[in-house]
Structure 1
Amino acid sequence: MSRLQRVASTTRAGWYSFLRRRTAVFFTFFFPVIIVSIFAGLVQTQPTGGGIFAEPPAYYIPGYLAVVVLFTPLSRVGSEIARHRDGSQFEKLATTPLKRWEWLLAQTLVNVVVIGLAGLLLLGLTVLVTGVSIPLSASTLLLIPFVAVGVALFCGLGALLGNFSDSQDGVIAASNAIALPLLFLSETFVTPDLLPTWFRPAMELSPLTYFSRGVRGLTYSDAAPSLVLTNLGILCVLALGFFVAGAVTVPRTD
C-alpha cells in the first residue's frame, strides 16, 4: 500500500468514526449556532457605544470562525490520541506501515473537512443573523487556506495536549485552559486598544492573532494583499512547526 493510500484509508476511517458519534456531529455543527446567536446579540446591544462588542458586526467575523478553528481541533485530536492510548490502538498501529505523521495528517484532513463545513455554516448564519455583507472577490477564496492552515496548526497543538495529558478529561481541561485565553486575547472579540499597553506585544505570540488579522483583512478592513499574505505565511510556518512537534510526540506504543 502506497503512502497516499495509507493516508486516504486512515482519513476515510476517521471520517466514518466521526459520523458514528452522533453527539459529536450534533455539537460540532450546533456550536456555531450558539456562538453566533450569543455574540451577535451582544454586538447589537451596543452598536455605537464603547467597550467590548462596540465594533461593527463584521469586525467579529474572525472571532466567530476562530471559535471552531481553535476549540474543535484541540479537543478532537487530543481526545482521539487519549482514546487510542486507552484502547491500546497505538500498539496495533505500530504493527502497520502507517507512520505517526501520516496518522496525524489523516486526522488533520478529517478536521479540515469537518471544520470547513462548520465554518461555512457559521458564515451563513452570521450573514443571516447580523445582516453583514462579506465582500466577494477572488481574494475572498483565501479564507479557505486560512481555515485549513489554522485547523492544521491547532491539530498539531491538540496532538501535543493529547500526548502530555493522562486522560480524555485531562485533554478537555487543558484544551479549555489554552483556548479560552487565546480566544479573547488574539484580536478576535477584544480590540487591542482595550488591553493594557504593556500586554499588547504578547498578542504577537498567539498564533490565533495572525489568523484573526488575515481573516479580518479579507472580510472587513480591506487590508492590502501583502498584509493578508504575510499573516497567512506566518500562520503556515507556525502550523508546520506545531504539526511536526505533534507528529514526533504521537506514541509509537501505549
Structure 2
Amino acid sequence: MSSLRRVQAEFVASWHSFLRRRTAVFFTFFFPAIIVLIFGALVQTQPTGGGLFAEPKEYYIAGYLAVVVLFTPLSRVGSTIARHREGNRFEKLATTPLKRSEWLLAHSLVNVVIIGLAALLLLGLSVLVTGAAVPVALSTLAIIPFVALGVTLFCGLGSIIGRVADSQDGVIAASNAIALPLLFLSETFITPDLLPAWFVPALNLSPLTYFARGVRALTYTGGDWIGNLAILAVLSLGFFVAGTLAIPQTD
C-alpha cells in the first residue's frame, strides 16, 4: 500500500469517526455561530466609542476565524492522541505500515475540511448577522490556504499537548490554558494600541498573529498578506514536524 493510500484510509476512518460523534459535529459548527451572534449581534462594534470592539465590523472577521482555527484542532487532535494512548492504539498502529507523519497528515486533513466548512459558515454569518462587507475579489480566496496552514499548525501543537498531557481531561485543560491567551494576544479582538507598549513586540511570538494579520489584510485592510502567509507556512511546517515526533510509537 502506497503512502497516499495509507493517508487516504486513515482520513476516511477519522472522518467517519467524527461523523459518528453527533455532539462533536453539532458543537463544531454551533461554536463559531454563537461567537458571531454574541460579539457581532449582541455586543456589536462601536467604531467611535473607543475601548474594546471599537473597530469596524470587518476588522473582527479575522478574529472570528481565528477562534475555530485555534480551538478545534488543539482539542480534537490532542484528545484523539490521549484517547489512543489510553486504549493502547499506538501499539497496534506500530505494527502497521502507517507512519506517524501519515497519521498526523490524515488527521490534519480531516480538520482542514471540518474547520474549512465551519469557517465558511462563520463568514456567511458575519455578513448576514453583522453586516460586514467581505471583499469580492480573487485574492480573497487566499483565506483558504491561511485556514489550511493555521489548522495544520495547531494540529501539530495539539499532538504535542496530547503527548504531554496524561488524560483527555488534561488535554482539554492544557488546550484552554494555551488557546485563551493566544486568542486575545494575537491581534484578533484586542488591537495593539490597547496593550502596554512594552508588550506589543511579543505579539510577533504568537503564530496566530500571522494568521490574523494575513486574513485581515484580505478581508479589511488590504496590504501585505503574502508575507504573513509565508511566515505561517514555515511555522506550520515546524509545528507539523514537532507534532509528528511527539506522536508515541508505543505506550
Into which bin does the TM-score normalised by the smaller protein fall?
over 0.9
What is the match of residue 249 of structure 1? 246
What is the match of residue 188 of structure 1? 188
1:73-222 superposed matches below 5 A: 73-222=73-222
RMSD across aligned positions (CA): 0.8
Provide the rounded CA distance (Å) in 2 between the counterparts of 1:105 and 1:45. 38
Provide the rounded CA distance (Å) in 1 between the counterparts of 2:121 and 2:138. 20
Provide the rounded CA distance (Å) in 1 between the counterparts of 2:94 and 2:63. 39
What is the match of residue 34 of structure 1? 34
Count of matched residue pairs: 251
Letter of the aligned partner of 2:64 in structure 1?
Y
Post-superposition offset of 1:48: 1.8
User: Are residues 1:237 and 2:224 paired?
Assistant: no
8 Å CA contact 1:59–1:220 kept in 2: the answer is: yes
Name the TM-score, length of structure 1 as normaliser: 0.97
8 Å CA contact 2:46–2:56 kept in 1: the answer is: no
Overall identity of the aligned pairs, in %: 74
Provide the rounded CA distance (Å) in 2 between the counterparts of 1:14 and 1:55. 40
3-state DSSP of counterpart to 1:132: coil
Post-superposition offset of 1:56: 0.5
Post-superposition offset of 1:44: 2.2
Provide the rounded CA distance (Å) in 2 between the counterparts of 1:233 and 1:104. 22
Which one is further off, 46-55 or 173-182?
46-55
8 Å CA contact 1:42–1:53 kept in 2: the answer is: no
Which one is further off, 63-72 or 135-144?
135-144
| Runs of 5+ unmatched residues, structure 2 | none
1:175-201: CA deviations, max 9, x gaps?
A: 000000000010000000000000000
8 Å CA contact 1:70–1:179 kept in 2: the answer is: yes
Post-superposition offset of 1:46: 2.8
Provide the rounded CA distance (Å) in 2 between the counterparts of 1:9 and 1:195. 47
8 Å CA contact 2:74–2:154 kept in 1: the answer is: yes
8 Å CA contact 2:36–2:125 kept in 1: the answer is: yes
Letter of the aligned partner of 2:129 in structure 1?
V
8 Å CA contact 1:43–1:55 kept in 2: the answer is: no
1:40-51 superposed matches below 5 A: 40-41=40-41, 43-44=43-44, 46-51=46-51
Letter of the aligned partner of 1:39 in structure 2?
F
Provide the rounded CA distance (Å) in 1 between the counterparts of 2:197 and 2:116. 35
Letter of the aligned partner of 1:87 in structure 2?
G
TM-aligned CA distance change 1:20 to 1:38, over 3 Å: same
Letter of the aligned partner of 2:126 in structure 1?
T
Provide the rounded CA distance (Å) in 1 between the counterparts of 2:201 and 2:81. 34
| Runs of 5+ unmatched residues, structure 1 | none
3-state DSSP of counterpart to 2:225: helix
Q: Which runs of 4+ in 1 moved over 6 A?
A: none
